[in-house]
A = this chain, B = another copy of it.
């Protein structure tokens, strides 16, 4: 790798010249600064000179690893994503990096918390996850927990981690051990990586008494603590920050700070001797429909016609343009299930306040309280996997199954 000095105007940058990706703009070069950040420059705006040639240092220790037999045994399951990868700076490609050896050599402090096994279930970027992957993860997690592991960590891409956490929350039944999803926003070979703290905190949670499906990620942009988010209350709220994941309409279950867990709200407790089982019958014929001014009625009609279930991501308290009413009415008459959530994300739908909401209610649209649209989408697949009967679907959609919905609070 070449060490270069780049001059742009009166600013000077030093760093390693990165190889170009296959599809990258040929007018730009990218430099990896010494602090780990990558900066792109337009070639005709800079002067560039080579200032040396460096070898990438090997971090790996040479002594043999020894895990402590007395500690609780947990399994880290790799499914792909940044946390399971490192960048190959010679080719620019992202490579999977996921052997127990590699993880423990990079995170030796994990060996003081647990006895760690790892396996790779599959290796895909989370934007390519589909419901079938949720099922594969659920089934494997159940096998692992029932074979005596104390907890499971799932290393997962961050893009759709909150969809997977919701799916696992509904599918894993009689769950009395921790199932911890963890990802990283920046790969583990970058100095700004969040991977180490996230994995360290996830390991603490996996050996704790929190027997739920949770997402453990940075609580702030400082590299000092992680939140434990309930799997049905969490959403990725930033493209790149390390604290991208936020609990919405709920506090996080707790925080991991200085190696200790502090909890904020009630949670399900660990119970030994229980067998987890998987309830993964899904009806995948569901659509998540975001509403916007001027949305085309013909496409909405096609969607209502094609799918068994539609989760509307409405405006405000749970609204949609009035001219879509007859389409939704027709759909419900055909036996389709139509539910309402809000694109504001925060807050609770309340369709009794304005006439549009009351009309939607009167035709049978189901108001999903304070459930996130993404969680509602997953839940509707799960519920329609059991029944298509309107009253039963309504009852299940409005019943709190995995912390996805909270009692209406009246603030007096």
Contacts and interface: CB of A to CB of B under 8 A. Distances in A.
A279 interface: no
A237 B345 contact: yes
A239 B346 contact: yes
A317 interface: yes
Interface stretch (A127-135, A198-206, A398-406): A127-135
Interface stretch (A222-230, A286-294, A326-334, A385-393): A286-294
A236 interface: yes
A232 interface: no
The quantity of this chain's copies bound in the complex is 2
A40 B13 CA distance: 64
Contacts of A318: 239
A128 B412 contact: no
B303 A299 contact: yes
A46 interface: no
Interface in A284-312: 284, 286-288, 290-296, 298-299, 302-303, 306-307
Interface stretch (A107-115, A156-164, A169-177): A156-164
A268 interface: no
Interface stretch (A16-24, A98-106, A250-258): A16-24
Interface residues of A, number: 83
A293 B163 contact: yes
Given A24-B352, A412-B39, A299 B302 contact: yes
A188 B412 CA distance: 18
B125 A239 contact: no
Contacts of A287: 295-296, 299
Contacts of A62: none
Contacts of A377: 292
A35 interface: yes
A37 B93 CA distance: 58
Interface stretch (A53-61, A146-154, A355-363): A355-363
A37 to B, nearest CB: 6
A348 B40 CA distance: 15
A320 B359 contact: no
B354 A237 contact: no
A358 B237 contact: no
Contacts of A412: 13, 33, 35, 37, 39
A3 B134 CA distance: 54
A370 to B, nearest CB: 8
A126 interface: yes
A348 B37 CA distance: 16
Interface of A: 13, 21-24, 33, 35, 37, 39-40, 93-94, 125-131, 134, 157-160, 163-164, 236-241, 244, 284, 286-288, 290-296, 298-299, 302-303, 306-307, 313-323, 342, 344-350, 352, 354-356, 358-359, 361-362, 374, 377, 381, 410-412
Given A130-B293, A238-B344, 4 more contacts: A24-B352, A93-B355, A237-B345, A294-B381
19 contacts: A13-B412, A23-B361, A127-B316, A127-B320, A127-B321, A128-B322, A130-B293, A159-B317, A159-B319, A236-B316, A236-B344, A237-B346, A239-B347, A239-B348, A241-B347, A287-B296, A294-B381, A296-B306, A299-B302
